[in-house]
Amino acid sequence: MLNTALQSDLSALVQGVNMIWVLTVTFLIFFMHAGFAMLEAGQVRSKNVANQLTKNLLTWSVGVVIYFLVGAAISTITGGLTGGGSYAVVDAFAAIYMPEAGAAAAWVNWLFGAVFAMTAATIVSGAVAGRAKLRAYVSYTILLAAVIYPVIVGFTWGGGFLSSLGFKDFAGGVIVHAMGGIAGLTAAWIIGPRMNRFNDDGTANVIPGHSLTFAVLGTLILAFGWYGFNVGTSASPLALDGSAVVLGSFATVGRVALVTTLGMAAGAIGAAGVAIYKTGKVDTLYVANGLLAGLVGITSIADAIVWPGAIAVGILAGAQLPVVFEFVEKRLHIDDVCAVFPVHGSAGILGALAYPFVATSFWSGSASFVGLLVPQVVGVAVIAVWTFAATALVFGALRAIGQARVSRQHEVEGLDTSEHGVDTYPEFGGPDESSARVDG
């Protein structure tokens, strides 16, 4: 009897302790919105800063409500449908709207999921900066939060067919980041480049962002939040094994923390190295974005790779950044303003596909290379195709009805004036002057 009493004791204890951790890391991941806001604001022209900031605020505000009302249940349903079973639609919504009285953690877990969803959503705004209509962007965000992202979660974390197949994405390197990067690239492609971004002969003009300081601040806020994103995905520090408390996902948390750190560091080093190789100088923005690309690269695999692999994946993720950025710009002629594809898209894909090379299970001989590789290739392909198709459909439709992009005049004036009626820096030179100086 005593034993029973204790068991119940420890169950509430484990739940409470785990919730402390989940809430703490959820707050850190939420704070990544400040990181994205600063990173993107710093990389756009001063006449478009308020527009970028507003998009970030509305991504969270509109998106999280939609994800509560619709998206989370869609994940559950998709997971059930594609996972070999089926799922009662009403139950899926009821589990979000009216969790059982005893289920203290249901809404905590929802919020933990929501901050991942909103990370995917906010990545897109960096790609379409400086010319997307606010309404177009918000419309896309609503669909992303309601359906596009939840379907991917259903396929994977929600127990769907990619999960059954063995697709590995620990903390969302593909599900969140590659998804956001691919969506951003697709949207930027459909919506077209900013004026004067490309010349008639196909060469590109650089339109520098207005503040490297804000961009680096954003980078460091993101890195801070990323510890929540990755290490926090070890979301059940404790577990019950019969009546005994044991380490749950914290059994591997040291690896996640180490690998995240090394991957991030190696990403910055890789990007810096390529910058030096190409220009002899260490471009600040490449270092910052390389650090983020290293984080992205490691995110899908951080709990299950050998640490030298983290250094290798990080360096590659950082080093591919300038190369892929140039490819997108000079070959595809897509104006991905904040480099979201090289940072989130290709780096996320790279990390997922690198998994077999660096997996602890491969090096310990407990898994075969091909057995690890196939689900990664399938998973990346499915998520990429779905994201591309859904995003192309939405932005294609918006373009078809003339709602995707602001007018030429509004673009010249800057979106701060035309969409928001504000001047971000009224004392530091008006939008007209600066547009004359740099865009003209």
Residue numbers 33-52 binding its own copies by CB under 8 A = 33-34, 37-38, 41, 45-46, 49-51
Name the residue nearer to its own copies (CB basis): 29 or 382: 29
Q: Closest Cα to residue 347, out of 378, 315, 376?
A: 315
- Residue 333 CA, distance from chain mean position: 23
Is residue 104 close enough to count as binding its own copies by CB under 8 A? Answer: yes
Residue 261 has, within 13 A of its CA and on its CB side, a CA count of 7
Q: What tokens appear for 410 in the block? A: 């509004």
Q: Determine the interface stretch with its own copies among 120-128, 342-350, 380-388, 423-431 (rule: CB under 8 A).
A: 423-431
Is residue 312 close enough to count as binding its own copies by CB under 8 A? Answer: no
Is residue 20 close enough to count as binding its own copies by CB under 8 A? Answer: yes
Q: What tokens appear for 144 in the block? A: 């992303």
Q: Determine the interface stretch with its own copies among 103-111, 144-152, 163-171, 369-377 (rule: CB under 8 A).
A: 103-111
Q: Determine the interface stretch with its own copies among 161-169, 230-238, 381-389, 393-401 (rule: CB under 8 A).
A: 230-238
Type of residue at 327: F
Is residue 403 close enough to count as binding its own copies by CB under 8 A? Answer: no
Q: x/- string (CB under 8 A) for its own copies, residues 50-79? A: xx-xx-xxx-xxx-xx--x-----------
Q: How far is the CB of 347 from its own copies (least distance, A)?
A: 16
Residues between 316 and 345 that touch its own copies (CB under 8 A): none
CA dist 262 → 101, 221, 287, 381, 425 (Å): 43, 17, 15, 27, 38
Among 39, 128, 152, 231, binds its own copies (CB under 8 A): 231
Q: How far is the CB of 237 from its own copies (least distance, A)?
A: 5
How far apart are the C-alpha atoms of 27 and 22, rounded to whole Å?
Answer: 9
Residues between 260 and 279 that touch its own copies (CB under 8 A): 261-262, 264-269, 272, 279
